[in-house]
With several copies, the nearest count.
Chain A
Amino acid sequence: MDDPPGSAGGAALVAQTPPLLQVLDPEGRLQVEHPPLSDEEVVRALRGMLLSRRFDERCIALQRRGLMVTLAPGIGQEACSVGSAMALDPARDWFVPQYREAAGMLWHGLPLVQAFLWHMGSPLGFMVPAGKRFLPFQAAVAGHLPHATGLAWGLRLRGADAVVLAHFGEGATSQGDFHEALNIAGVVRAPVVFFCQNNYWAISTPLEWQTAAPTIAQKAVAYGFPGIRVDGNDLFAVYVATRDAVARARAGEGPTLIEGVTYRLGIHTTADDASRYEPLELRERWQDKDPLLRLQRYLQRRGVWTEALASRLEDEVRRELDAAWEEARRVPPPRLEDSLERVFAEMTPRLRAQREALGEEG
């Protein structure tokens, strides 16, 4: 039998690699005519990124001294976190984090004291203060993504014009929950933006072993909504893509998946030893793409970046961190008994008995 016509090859869908959106190149050169943010806004963004960078560094140091628990720094990924948070309106929009987005959470209104408490292993670190629009950090990878879908959908059903932004890593995209959350979001056209920080590593597992898809953005094709791929170390690109996605969502046009191509400049968590698996040259290549450096270079080109500004920002940030850390240390630690009161709105008889027994043992 000769090769039949109508061979399936012709009908195969070939994966298309989406282009990478870049507005600022690593040297801080604008790739477009007009910047999407004013210089003031950029300085404010840089300050937010710096706050997070110094927060992470300080917490790592405190962890090494036994004063903090295992934590996952966001170093190197601040542009994804802050750039996307900037596109939200904190008075109506929600931020739904994984665990590496202290930067964006602080931007969106997480009190710095609470961020410290979180890393101190206090349950108070997971509280959502009244009037704030974020969920607690999430330890189960991708577990929060269906919540983001439901929250966005529910807010719309309740008549709010709110948008939800959910963050996660490229490793999270391998989870069933990622799939179910995005698929449902597509069906109900939930006003949600799924932001994947593709930092190449899931602990020690590289992207190639996570998925055979060359990009994360193209996974949106499965859900019938747009996937966008941006330089995740470029605050402008992140901001522009998220802003557009938020606008789409708010206009009732449904979800967007954004892939921020970035890199984890350091350890997965303080319990990790990246030297066991990370090629040094890869780290070095990305070190120069540091998102803070890029913004500084940009501001330098625009004549805004000065020694004075640099040290003013560092000073402000240091003082803010000092004050919050001092305050966090003075917060009285909750007792186990208190936790038994927070399982249900009202304690069950057995919880009450267990609580009493704890008191007696005290």
Chain B
Amino acid sequence: MPVMTIVEAIRDALHYEMARDDRVIVLGEDVGTSGGVFRATDGLFEKYGRARVVDMPLSESGIIGVSVGLALAGLVPVAEIQFMGFTHNGFHQITEQLARIRYRSWGSLSAPVTIRTPFGGGVRAPEMHSDAFEAHFVHCPGLKVVAPATPQDARGLLLSAIRDPDPVLFLEPLRGYRLIRGEVTTGEYLVPLGKARVAVQGTDCTVVAWSAAVEVAAAAAAAAAEEGISVEVIDLRSLAPLDTETLRASVTKTGRVVVVHEAAQTGGVAAEVIATIQEDEEMFYSLTGPIRRVCGADTPYPVQMLEPAYLISPQRVLRAIRAAVRA
């Protein structure tokens, strides 16, 4: 099994799927001749040319809206939005159009569009280029949201996303593009949407995370282990739909939960994870204390100088684990 970075795994998935299915079309800003600003689409333009790999005008709403039309014509669009913050420029096309077309046509139409976009901070990107707004899309009926943490999952989930008959927002960990490496099963290897993964096994406390935060959680788990606390890390992988089964298996065992995300705390996805856990009777009655959130402060993502302090450290997660175990 080859070792790849996240961006290499994504690129591999795109090459694989474009070769397999000639309906797949890649479109976005700078995805063609330059191979994408993070090189995720590198080599595709050379292979398939502008008929299937399209450098688009600087129009996020247009890119998403046009993808809906391409899908209706029978193509399988994989649109790249250069940074997640700019999905907001096309938010109405995602929420009111793309995600609703099956529903509003009473099941007679569908738009199997995949929107790929990097999110989160940690690479000293300019203002607005590190936004993590996954919560906006989790509250968007008709849309699936996926956020892999490993190269293996990135590749396997991207293949599933592209083949899914419904629209999928595929969130890529910006700081993991080149920093997260791992073994990757190539070929016809798919990871199903909607299934979480136990990243680290443990018994005392469950830490729920996704995307780049899984590494932070794992580091905290390792530190906790040294203190004799056995932490289970759940990598959600899919934020919509949520995998309640995997959560239940872990939470009923540990009785303590910490949810980690980089996005601002208030209204973030942690809230939905908490609501989901606590409204399940079995999980609720196994809780020994409050579910804790380790999230970004309620500010926009800061510029670079403040970034190190804003990012969630394993220490912060560890403190929450300790508090949870003490409760």
Contact = CB atoms under 8 A, between A and B. Distances in A.
B58 A210 contact: yes
User: Looking at chain A, what size class is its interface with the partner chain?
Assistant: 35 or more
Given A147-B72, A171-B58, A184-B66, A140 B96 contact: yes
B194 interface: yes
Interface residues of B, number: 79
B70 A180 contact: no
A349 B194 CA distance: 9
Contacts of B309: 335-336, 358
Interface in B1-30: 25, 29-30
Interface in A93-131: 99, 120-130
Contacts of B64: 146
A361 to B, nearest CB: 7
B66 A150 contact: yes
B306 interface: yes
B34 A203 contact: yes
A150 B72 contact: yes
Interface string B20-59: 0000010001101111010000000000000100111111
B305 A145 contact: no
B106 A127 contact: yes
A313 B240 CA distance: 54
Given A70-B125, A151-B70, A152-B69, A120 B305 contact: yes
A183 B310 contact: no
B62 A146 contact: yes
A17 interface: no
Given A204-B34, A350-B241, A339 B97 contact: no
Given A69-B304, A343-B142, A135 B72 contact: yes
Interface stretch (A20-28, A41-49, A154-162, A243-251): A154-162
Interface string A127-151: 1111000011001111111111111
A140 B67 contact: no
A334 interface: yes
A174 B66 contact: no
A226 B166 CA distance: 36
Contacts of A129: 108
B57 A336 contact: no
B97 A122 contact: no
A337 B151 CA distance: 35
A75 to B, nearest CB: 18
B297 to A, nearest CB: 5
A306 interface: no
Contacts of B71: 150, 154
A155 B124 CA distance: 36
B305 A121 contact: yes
Interface string A173-206: 0111100110110011000000000000011110
B29 A205 contact: yes
Chain B CB within 10 Å, residue with most, of A69, A126, A180, A203: A180
A196 to B, nearest CB: 13
Given A130-B108, A150-B77, A153-B73, 5 more contacts: A121-B124, A126-B104, A136-B104, A150-B66, A184-B59
Interface of B: 25, 29-30, 32-35, 37, 51, 54-59, 61-62, 64-75, 77, 85-86, 89, 92-93, 96-97, 102-110, 124-129, 141-142, 144, 165-166, 194, 240-242, 244, 265-266, 297-300, 302-307, 309-310, 315-316, 319
